[in-house]
Amino acid sequence: MTKLLHSRRLWIAAVVVLVGLSAPWWLSAYFLGVLTTAYYFGVFAMSWDLLFGFAGMVNFGPTFLIGLGAYGAAILNAEAGMPIPVCLVFGTFISLIGGVLLALPAMRLRGAYFGLITLVAVLLMQYAIVIFAHVTGGEIGMTVPSVLSIDATTNYLYALIFMVICGIVLYGLSRSAIGLILEATGQDDIEAAALGFNVAKHRLAAFCISAALSGLAGGMLVFYLGAASIDTVIDLSIGVQIIIASVLGGRRTILGAVIGAIVLLLADELLRPLGQLNTFVVSAFALAVILFFPDGLLGHLLHAGERQ
Amino acid sequence: MTEGTAPLLEVEHLSKRFGGLVAVKDIGFKIRAGEILGLIGPNGSGKSTVMKLLMGIERPNSGRISLAGVDIAGWPTHRIARQGIGIVFQHSRPLRRQTVLENIKLALLPDSLLRLVADPSVNDKAQAIATRVGLGAVMHRRPTTLPFADLRRLELAKALARDPQVVLVDEPFAGLTQAEVANFSELIDGFRQEGRAVLLVDHNVKGVAALVDRVLAMYLGEHIAEGSAEDVMQDPTVRRVYMGGKIESHARPEVELRSGEPLLDVRGVGVLYGKAQALDAVSIHVHEGEFVSVVGLNGAGKTTLFNAISGIVPHSGEIKWGGSDLRGRSVAEIARGGIVHCPESRELFGYMTVRENLDLGGHHLPAATRATQLAWLFELFPILEARQGQHARTLSGGEQQMLAIARALMLQPRLLILDEPTLGLAPVILEQLSKALHRLRETTPITVLLGEQNVTFALPHADRVYVLENSRIVWEGDPGRFAREMGTGYL
């Protein structure tokens, strides 16, 4: 415990969170909104990093798990009028089931083949939403009757606190004994099994945790936006953005994913005056970081420390 | 050893097929506590498959593997590991971001999703193990900063951490220096003292002879000999498998070949694989029109030497080709310069027909030349003419090898490098291949550099022979002298 209190990283994290909490006093409502979305994206990216960075599973379709949670919660809210917490639990549960389903092929397939399955899963879900348009709103999307809050500050604080909790859980997990075992299974599953670890069990657990948090964050995002649509939570480009955020921040760092998400979404917003060029510039920047700092922003800083 | 005590590991009638290939056929052996068994065989003999079957990495088709009375055949790897079998892999992939100590701690963790914090005793245990295997001084460093031998120690440490009753060690001494070999032998001997049963898997008896109580030799999936290291080395079947039968030689007079500057001149070439010394100050030369054989057991460094010549792996030292240095030239440039490499893995285009493979080889030739070349090759390997329309992957092993050689010859090489063409081939096929090489040597002025483990195959054609052992050239001479000087010491 004393070791924990002396950890420099802990104090840095605490200061960052405090700065984050004070943001409503010095930031415009507009940027609070951008950050709110960025925080949910941060959770998406952290959950993705647990699967890719630690368990070594290349999930090209993070939005499959997010979408299940988002639409699960939205539909229950719109159709049955259930209160938000119940809807969120339901969405998380649906996403968890999706995670288990996705974990099944992951037991047999690795690398590109598994990646293809995750891509197909997203496309299938997208088609399902279009086909069952009477419940899901199809391509236009659906509005939900309930929202978390209409106040920008409250919404911002919800997102921040949620992200911090997810960050503590995921980062703690990554530094725990389980994180070590997961990293070993991701690096060489045969060697991990030869050390007596049930690789399937650990991989399944990683999928469940990643799915539950992605789904919950997806649901929260829906109740923040007041709507669920393919463009906001399912489209492949959203998935790509999450992956870029995670790699940009630094693979296998968990917290780097948050930094990546915030940098990416803020840049997207700040460069808006560039018009069409906006996306191009952001993508080029991300590409440059990945090319020149393959460890990502946070990863690069940490490794610089290690080298000394 | 203590006769009478029940064996700790007992394997009976173990078999494994991969499609039509029988990789392991009716293998059985016993290892008692405190005993070391060596499992040897050339590449493709099935010894690695046996190890995988024991560890549950592959499932056997039939047979029993009983560990202290419990049949564990077909169990998943993690259960076998928990039941008491540990493995030391040849290639280690430690966690790079964690320290050596953390890597050892990993092996001490329980397989549980609920234990987030490791038991405090784990730390002490990990330190004790690190010290025991000689990693005490470096336990807080990251594996990437360690020399090769220390990475192997780390693998030993991880296997030890599980306190296994049976330890499987894959190629225990590959890539180690003499001093390190002695040190590792002591560590493995320590396993015996502690009453563990040890299985050492290696290419040859020589490497493990000093350490083992008994040796089992395999070839093409079958048990061919068992007994003390000495007996197995003297066993006629083993000698035939490793060296072929009676050694013949047909060296041509040296004078006509040795005149002038060599076509290929390799001087003091060294190659490092990561941190392992795969080739150490090797010097060989080949004159125009000469047939030179480099013999050595699997793992001696033959493939590495050829890869260095072809520019596939970076090397130190100097390689001269027709007087000019090859350094800095790409693989393609070297190949266009006339050095054509026919690799051990054959690298055929499996989904193309025999004819398409050959045409691809002769792609750069004018149509007329290509036709003559093709006709000549069909004369050399008549079987390929009959198989023209067949997919390369459906050919038998011997036919594939002939196709690989033929395709290399389509490139009209000045120097043909043949890497272990006999790999995994049955004796009958060897004879056909041997005849083809003989015709090749007699009818063309071609220059050949042949790498072989099978001495009987390599010697008849050779004008000169080099012996490669543990990354170094240890002998050079004509094939006639080989039988007298190296015949017994080779294995």
Place of tokens 């150490």: B280
Give residues with Cβ within 8 angstroms of B236, minimum separation 6.
none
**B392 secondary structure, DSSP code:** G
Which of A190, A205, A306 has the CB atom closest to B57's CB atom? A190
What residue type is assigned to position B83 of the chain?
Q
**Distance between CA atoms of residues A242 and A210, nearest Å:** 13
Chain Cα centroid distance, residue A72: 17
What residue type is assigned to position A102 of the chain?
L
List the Cα angle B359/B360/B363 in 5-degree steps: 85
Cβ distance B198 to B192 under 8 Å?
yes
Q: Mean pLDDT over residues A19-25, rounded?
A: 92
* Strands annotated E in B34-99: 36-40, 62-67, 70-71, 85-88
**Distance between CA atoms of residues B304 and A266, nearest Å:** 52
Measured between CA atoms, the residue of chain B closest to residue A252 is B97
Pinpoint the alpha helices (H) of B294-396: 302-309, 331-336, 354-361, 367-380, 382-386
pLDDT at position B208 is: 85
Cβ distance A210 to A257 under 8 Å?
no
Give residues with Cβ within 8 angstroms of B108, minimum separation 6.
B118, B122, B125, B126, B161, B162
Q: Is the per-residue pLDDT at A83 higher than 90?
A: yes
Q: Is B106 exposed, middle or buried (0-12, 13-18, 19+ CB in 10 A)?
A: buried
Place of tokens 């197909």: A120
Q: Mean pLDDT over residues A5-30, rounded?
A: 85
Cβ distance A181 to A197 under 8 Å?
yes
pLDDT at position A307 is: 47
CB–CB contact B78 A178 (8 Å): no
**Distance between CA atoms of residues B248 and B483, nearest Å:** 9
Q: Sheet of B166-170: strands edge to edge?
A: B85-88, B166-170, B197-202, B36-40, B214-219, B222-227
pLDDT at position A220 is: 96
Chain Cα centroid distance, residue B137: 33
Which of A183, A193, A202 has the CB atom closest to B95's CB atom? A183
In angstroms, the separation between the Cα of residue A124 and the nearest Cα of chain B is 32
Buried/exposed B184-217: b ≥16 CB within 10 Å, e otherwise: beebbeebbeeebbbbbbbbbbbbbbebbbbbbb
Q: Give the CATH number of domain B9-243.
A: 3.40.50.300
Domain A38-307 matching CATH 3.40.50: the answer reads: no
Structure tokens at A299: 């990863």
Q: Strands B447-452 and B85-88: what pairing? A: unpaired
Question: What ipTM does the predicted assembly reach?
Answer: 0.83
pLDDT at position B255 is: 45
Average pLDDT, chain A: 89
Q: Note whether B9-243 and B255-485 share their fold.
A: yes
Is the Cβ of A208 closer than 8 Å to some Cβ of chain B? Answer: no
* Strands annotated E in B82-159: 85-88
Between the two ends of chain A, the Cα-to-Cα distance in Å is: 26
Q: Is the per-residue pLDDT at A5 higher than 80?
A: no
* Domain layout of chain A by residue ranges: 38-307
Interface of A with B in 167-206 (CB under 8 A): 172-173, 176-178, 180-181, 183-184, 187-188, 190-191, 193-199, 201-202, 205
pLDDT in tens, A190-211: 889 999 999 999 999 999 999 9
Q: Is the per-residue pLDDT at A107 higher than 60?
A: yes
Cβ distance A73 to A224 under 8 Å?
no
Buried/exposed B146-157: b ≥16 CB within 10 Å, e otherwise: bebbbbbbbbbb
Measured between CA atoms, the residue of chain A closest to residue B84 is A196
Q: What is the dihedral of CA A254, A256, A257, A263, to 10 degrees?
A: 170
**Nearest residue to A59 via CA among A68, A47, A70:** A47
Q: Is the per-residue pLDDT at A11 higher than 80?
A: yes
Neighbours of A29 (CB within 10 A): 12
Q: Is the per-residue pLDDT at A1 higher than 60?
A: no
Q: Please list the residues that pair with B40 across neighbouring strands.
A: B202, B217
**Nearest residue to A20 via CA among A258, A186, A244:** A258
Which of B109, B158, B162 has the CB atom closest to A180's CB atom? B109
Give residues with Cβ within 8 angstroms of A29, minimum separation 6.
A152, A153
**Nearest residue to B400 via CA among B373, B381, B379:** B381
Neighbours of B62 (CB within 10 A): 13
**Distance between CA atoms of residues B435 and B235, nearest Å:** 27
Q: Is the per-residue pLDDT at A259 higher than 70?
A: yes
Compute φ and ψ for B424, nearest 5 degrees. 70, 15
- Radius of gyration over every alpha carbon of chain B, rounded to an integer in angstroms: 25
pLDDT in tens, B49-64: 899 999 999 999 999 9
Residues of chain B with pLDDT under 50: 1-3, 255
Measured between beta carbons, the chain B residues lying within 8 angstroms of A190 are 57, 77
* Strands annotated E in B144-192: 166-170
pLDDT in tens, A32-60: 999 999 999 999 999 999 998 888 888 88
Options 3.30.230.10, 3.90.870.10, 3.40.50.300, 2.40.30.10; CATH for B255-485 is 3.40.50.300
Measured between CA atoms, the residue of chain B closest to residue A202 is B113
pLDDT at position B250 is: 65
Is the Cβ of B428 closer than 8 Å to some Cβ of chain A? Answer: no
**Distance between CA atoms of residues B489 and B480, nearest Å:** 15
Measured between beta carbons, the chain B residues lying within 8 angstroms of A193 are 56-57, 76-78, 81
Sign of CA dihedral B223, B228, B233, B235: negative
Which of A172, A178, A191 has the CB atom closest to B113's CB atom? A178
* Domain layout of chain B by residue ranges: 9-243, 255-485
Give residues with Cβ within 8 angstroms of A18, minimum separation 6.
none
Which of B56, B76, B118 has the CB atom closest to A177's CB atom? B118
CB–CB contact B109 A173 (8 Å): no
CB–CB contact B78 A197 (8 Å): yes
CB–CB contact B77 A180 (8 Å): no
Query: Would you list the DSSP string of chain A?
Result: -HHHHH-HHHHHHHHHHHHHHHHHHHS-HHHHHHHHHHHHHHHHHHHHHIIIIIT----S-HHHHHHHHHHHHHHHHHHH---HHHHHHHHHHHHHHHHHHHHHHHHH--HHHHHHHHHHHHHHHHHHHHHTHHHH-TTT-EE-S--S-S-HHHHHHHHHHHHHHHHHHHHHHHHSHHHHHHHHHHH-HHHHHHTT--HHHHHHHHHHHHHHHHHHHHHHHHHHHTEE-HHHHTSHHHHHHHHHHHHHH-TT-SHHHHHHHHHHHHHHHHTGGGTTHHHHHHHHHHHHHHHH-TTHHHHHHHHHHHH-
Helix (H, G, I), strand (E, B) or coil at B131: helix
**Nearest residue to A307 via CA among B149, B97, B93:** B97
**Nearest residue to A77 via CA among A128, A130, A125, A147:** A147
Give residues with Cβ within 8 angstroms of B417, minimum separation 6.
B306, B309, B310, B339, B340, B341, B342, B448, B449, B450, B451
Is the Cβ of B116 closer than 8 Å to some Cβ of chain A? Answer: yes
Is the Cβ of B121 closer than 8 Å to some Cβ of chain A? Answer: no
**Distance between CA atoms of residues A177 and A175, nearest Å:** 7
**Nearest residue to A197 via CA among B115, B82, B94:** B82
Q: Which of A191, A199, A252, A300 to mutate to test the interface with B (most CBs of B within 10 A)?
A: A191
pLDDT in tens, B257-314: 556 788 899 998 988 877 777 888 899 999 888 889 998 877 788 888 999 999 888 8
Which of B55, B76, B117 has the CB atom closest to A176's CB atom? B117
CB–CB contact A184 B87 (8 Å): no
Q: Which of A198, A207, A208 to mutate to test the interface with B (most CBs of B within 10 A)?
A: A198
How many interface pairs between A and B have CB atoms less than 8 angstroms apart?
72
**Nearest residue to A180 via CA among A212, A209, A202:** A202
Between the two ends of chain B, the Cα-to-Cα distance in Å is: 25
- Radius of gyration over every alpha carbon of chain A, rounded to an integer in angstroms: 19
Q: Sheet of B324-325: strands edge to edge?
A: B276-286, B264-273, B316-321, B324-325
Compute φ and ψ for B76, nearest 5 degrees. -70, 155
Q: Strands B472-477 and B447-452: what pairing? A: unpaired
